[in-house]
Amino acid sequence: MSVSELPLFADGVSLNQKELLACQNIARALPETPTKARAALAGHRASNIRGRGMEFAEVRHYQSGDDVRTIDWRVTARTGKAHTKLFVEERERPVLLLLDLSHSLYFGSSLMLQAVQAAHVAATLGWRAVGHGDRLGALIASEQQHIELKPRSRQSAMLPLISAMQTVHQAQLDGMGAHVSEPEHIYRACLRLRRIAKPGSLIWIISDGSHFTPQCLQPLTELSRHCDIGALLITDPLRQGELPLPAQFQLPVKDGAQELVLNRASYNGWLTRQHAQQQGFIDMMRQLNARLRTISAAQPLNQQIGALR
């Protein structure tokens, strides 16, 4: 694909504030999809907590201190005893992003690095959350560092998220020459996520799936009992076997910190390993009953809006 198809302000490799701010336009284009949560819900969505909201919940006997404006005069007249109306309270829903910026996402064969697309997805979901009035938090994980952002309200959540994504992304780019082996960093991120996620939270997992080992299933299963989980799988056409290649070739590939030269035979073996890692992640999300969507790094996100619905 040509450079002209890159998103606004993006170069496909680095991350800058302008391109992540521009993701707000994609968020605005997303259709509304009202959902129910299992506990206290967010922003524009009603919760199970009784309070002074806008949606009627039930009638009970009037108690001293109740607002006289909530008296149900019909029930009071029928029973001869004062009754007051209760309403479902509207509360902000925590939205948490688990953004995987492992070295494996620093791969791009067509338009942009998978890590850049992952950041665009995170920014878009973040803008959507604050647009709904939800509290937004994030856990950004790499082999070298984890940045935890506690849920915050409205616009105050987005600039720290954008800054944190830029920080981790640049550190990963700067460290591409160093071999960093940290097989349990995503597992540790799942453990931290389990600790910070409140009941009723909406959790988005954004990853290429490479580092979600079987032990990640336990903390994620515990989360799924009281939170809603969705997943965005970030793919690349070369890793999917979707790029047309000649019968014979020598293809230099930098896969994370690993440098390879692939021919037809070694490419097929490499592709098999890629698919196996990806399928493991897909199977895990199915076990969690998480809705899984696929986003390609070969197309701008605004051309894949349907996958974010």
Question: Tens of pLDDT along 193-221?
Answer: 999 999 999 999 999 999 999 999 999 99
Tell me how long the chain is. Answer: 309
| Mean pLDDT, all residues of the chain | 87
Q: What is the dihedral of CA 47, 53, 58, 61, to 10 degrees?
A: 130
Q: How confident is the model at residue 257 (pLDDT cuts 50, 70, 90)?
A: low
**Mean pLDDT score, 74-86:** 89
**How far is the C-alpha of 159 from the C-alpha of 290, rounded, in Å?**
28
Q: Per-residue pLDDT for 50 more than 50?
A: no
40 vs 116, more confident: 116
**Mean pLDDT score, 213-239:** 96
- The secondary element (H helix, E strand) that includes residue 240 is helix 237-240
**How far is the C-alpha of 101 from the C-alpha of 164, rounded, in Å?**
11
Secondary-structure percent of the chain, ordered helix, strand, coil, rounded to 5 = 40, 25, 35
Q: Per-residue pLDDT for 51 more than 60?
A: no
Q: Which residues contact 163 (CB under 8 A, 6 or more apart)?
A: none
Query: In angstroms, how far is the first alpha carbon of the chain from the final one?
Result: 25
92 vs 287, more confident: 287
Domain boundaries, the chain: 3-39+93-308, 46-90
pLDDT at 68: 82
**Phi/psi of residue 56, nearest 5 degrees:** -65, 135
**Phi/psi of residue 179, nearest 5 degrees:** -85, 110
Which architecture, in CATH terms, is 3-39+93-308? 3-Layer(aba) Sandwich (3.40)
Strand partners of residue 59? 85
Q: How confident is the model at residue 136 (pLDDT cuts 50, 70, 90)?
A: very high
How many CB atoms sit inside 10 A of residue 162's CB? 22
Choose the weakest-confidence range: 115-119, 174-178, 204-208, 228-232.
Answer: 174-178
Contact yes or no for 203/229 (Cβ under 8 A): yes
Q: Exposed/middle/buried for 252, CB within 10 Å: 0-12, 13-18, 19+?
A: exposed
pLDDT at 35: 47
Choose the weakest-confidence range: 24-33, 182-191, 219-228, 277-286.
Answer: 24-33
Q: At what angle do helices 17-29 and 158-174 cross, to 10 degrees?
A: 130
Strand partners of residue 254? 259
Closest CA to 94 of 137, 154, 38, 39: 137
Give 298's DSSP letter. Answer: T
**Mean pLDDT score, 15-21:** 97
Number of H helices, E strands in the chain: 8, 11
The amino acid sitting at 258 is Q
**How far is the C-alpha of 161 from the C-alpha of 168, rounded, in Å?**
11
**How far is the C-alpha of 65 from the C-alpha of 46, rounded, in Å?**
24
Instruction: Enter the tokens of residue 190.
Output: 């799942």
pLDDT at 163: 97
pLDDT digits (tens, 9 = 90+) for 270-304: 999 999 999 999 999 999 999 999 999 999 999 99
**How far is the C-alpha of 225 from the C-alpha of 199, rounded, in Å?**
9
Choose the weakest-confidence range: 108-117, 173-182, 235-244, 246-255.
Answer: 173-182
Q: How confident is the model at residue 67 (pLDDT cuts 50, 70, 90)?
A: confident
Q: Per-residue pLDDT for 99 more than 90?
A: yes
Choose the weakest-confidence range: 24-28, 103-107, 236-240, 253-257.
Answer: 253-257
Q: Which residue has the tokens 């056409």?
A: 237
Q: Supply the pTM of this predicted model.
A: 0.81
- The secondary element (H helix, E strand) that includes residue 139 is strand 135-141
